[in-house]
Amino acid sequence: MSGSAQYVLEARDVRKRYAGGPQTVDVLAGASLRLQAGQSLAITGASGSGKSTLLHLLGGLDLADAGHIEVCGASWAGMSPAQQGQWRNRHVGFVYQFHHLLPEFSALDNVMMPLRIRRVAASQAQQRATAMLEQVGLAARLRHRPAELSGGERQRVALARALVTQPALLLADEPTGNLDADSADVVFRLIEAMAREHGSAMVLVTHDATLAARCGRALHLQHGTLREAGQA
């Protein structure tokens, strides 16, 4: 697991099947994609088409039934669960539709968490987390808990947490789906700017064609395979 690779993310012929009672459902039937550093990709598709399933596989949160996925030169399938967790912490950041912040902790503590898991010294973790929250416009909200923040502010904290480790790969699952139009625009602009600043490759799952068009490339997931958006 040297981490040296031409692609930050490479998925080849990925397949995933779920049992639904007496029947099985092929959610992914040969999905493939590649991303280099700094590239952004949107994945669109109907509800239930398997977009979130694909994102979980790309991030190593679930394993494919067949096919191959590499992040920074290492295959999820070739790692133990402990190694997967370490590799995710080192190379992958996640932003979801729901912020998944820990409610009992402040914004600062939530953003520090990935660094503390990495065993970064508390003083250094606090310094980096503070700087990241300042970048997303929350310098005055460091000590506020999630319940004391607006929806847009909570999502900006989640973005700061995802990027505080400067991941090579950012995976975003409907990151603005819970926000009003103005807040959604603010959050997505931050995602674009910060991913670009850190050189992160980004995969965005969205039902919003406008957001998809703002990425460098868009693929549509249908019948378990990916094709260029707009193709029949």
- Which DSSP symbol is given to 64? -
The amino acid sitting at 77 is A
Among the CATH numbers 3.40.50.300, 3.40.50.150, 3.40.50.1370, 3.40.50.10490, which is that of 9-228?
3.40.50.300
Is the Cβ–Cβ distance between 24 and 224 less than 8 Å? no
Q: In the chain, where does DSSP find H-type helix?
A: 51-58, 81-91, 107-117, 122-135, 151-163, 181-198, 209-213
Cα separation, 190 vs 208, in Å, equals 17
What confidence score (pLDDT) does residue 230 get?
58
What confidence score (pLDDT) does residue 1 get?
40
Is the Cβ–Cβ distance between 87 and 60 less than 8 Å? yes
What confidence score (pLDDT) does residue 113 get?
92
What confidence score (pLDDT) does residue 5 get?
61
What confidence score (pLDDT) does residue 48 get?
77
Q: Where are the chain's structural domains?
A: 9-228
**H/E run at residue 14:** strand 9-20
> What contacts 24+ positions apart, CB below 8 Å, involve 140-146?
141/107, 142/106, 142/107, 142/108, 143/106, 143/107, 143/108, 144/106, 144/107, 145/103, 145/104, 145/105, 145/106, 145/107, 146/99, 146/101, 146/102, 146/103, 146/107, 146/110
Q: What is the pLDDT along the chain (232 residues), one digit of tens a residue?
A: 444 468 999 999 999 988 766 778 788 988 899 999 989 999 998 887 888 899 999 999 998 999 999 999 999 998 999 999 989 888 998 888 777 889 999 999 999 998 988 889 999 999 999 998 998 889 999 999 999 998 889 988 998 998 888 889 999 888 877 777 887 888 888 888 888 888 889 999 988 888 888 888 999 988 888 888 755 4
Q: What does the pLDDT look like over 50-59, one tens digit per residue? A: 888 999 999 9
Is the Cβ–Cβ distance between 130 and 108 less than 8 Å? yes
Cα separation, 198 vs 165, in Å, equals 10
Query: Cα–chain-centroid distance for residue 97?
Result: 10
- Exposure class string for 4-39: b at 16+ Cβ within 10 A, else e: eeebbbbbeebbbeeeeeeeeeebbeebebebeeeb
Residue-wise DSSP of 189-206: HHHHHHHHHHT-EEEEE-
Q: What does the pLDDT look like over 2-50, one tens digit per residue? A: 444 689 999 999 999 887 667 787 889 888 999 999 899 999 988 878 8
